[in-house]
A and B are shown apart, each in its own frame.
Chain A
Amino acid sequence: MAILEVRDISKSFDGEKIINQISIQLHEGEIVSLLGVSGGGKTTLFNIIAGLSRPETGSVWLDGEEITGRPGNVSYMLQKDLLLSYRTILDNVSLPLIVRGMKKKEAREKARIYFEQFGLTGTEKKYPAQLSGGMKQRAALLRTYLFSEKVALLDEPFSALDMMTKQSIHGWYLGVMEKIKLSTLFITHDIDEAILLSDRIYLLTGKPGQITKEIVIKERKPRRGDFPLTEEFLMYKREILSHLEGKNVDERDVL
């Protein structure tokens, strides 16, 4: 059974349909990407799964329990790190625990354990402004994980980073995910990123946005460092590109 299931979700704004009949399944420990153009309704879908807004039709299920329109169950992370500038990194990442009612000291103790695993050792007492963009996203991911160990939604989390930082954070991300096995729904418009990180990819195309294809990336994990340079990788990429072309999507929007 899927840990997160999205069933037939549709939503309109001002009479215009943004997403139509979207169904997604996420299994335990899986990283699944939702690949589509910017402004294609990905963020709308995200807000619905996070419980921040309600769909017109359809429902969201977590571990067999309906959570449609109920925040506080799945965590999410955005392109903006959203670390609060007046809290230290330790206090930022322990915030979800405190919000859930844990004592401040206890929350700090629990959060501190993960700093090494997330490559954040030494940043505990620093403020967000003192960290690089890549480090801030690491801290944001740890906060996301402490919020929910079950399912995380990542909305283009690395797209604001420069290429070099992005490359190294991809390696870091896969390493961390090997250890914590967090089931993740990953939104991106970057085809390479989707192939590199995911077990499966849903392609979201058209207006209103619909899921028109599902691709399974069979490459075993942990992935080799040169996976993006292999023939298999290019095959996946060709498959995605030709599908998007068939759907009349300008390639430049996606890359």
Chain B
Amino acid sequence: MYGRSGAELVRELTFDDHQIRRFNHDLFNKVLGEIQEHYYQVSKIMTLLQEENPSGQIMHVDGNYSGALIHHQSLLRNKRCLLSYLYNRAQRIQRLRWQLGAVLPEDVRDLLHPSEKEFLKSYSDILGSYMTTVDLDLTVDATPPKDPYIKIRVLQHIGEVLLGDQTTSLSRNSIHFMKRTEAEPLISQGLVEEFNG
């Protein structure tokens, strides 16, 4: 009651600005339960009002009127908290698509609700088909490059990768000189780092 659980759900998102946490099923369902309860109370009071006053016109403010109003407002408030929770998570998921590419690492995927996974997939599809149409990878070169080539150091063993028209073996701690557009996704996935030395 009071919309406390809803606020708690929203507060959870403000602890860390851009991270994603596990979808909070328990609290989410608790808020849904509260909405049900408020709805039940509103309908109960509305039936009472109808019996007292069959014309349905509210002539003056009385106890039932304000009671119903409070329940109605609580219901709307809880709805706002839930929608805001989903909306802000969806925003973060969209950002993940830009940072990590179409396929998320397993441990990040596990944090999402099944319908959020579906959302990510559809979003990724739309973005992918748009980028195919304009024939440009929009996720790279977010900051204007000074040089089309970049020196990188490999942080994890990756193995044989097709770069340009030849395959290169990216083994741990080796240093490579490659096209910036090819390096960028690898850097944001944390597999290699930019090397200035």
A binds B: no
* Chain B residues packing against A (C-beta within 8 Å): none
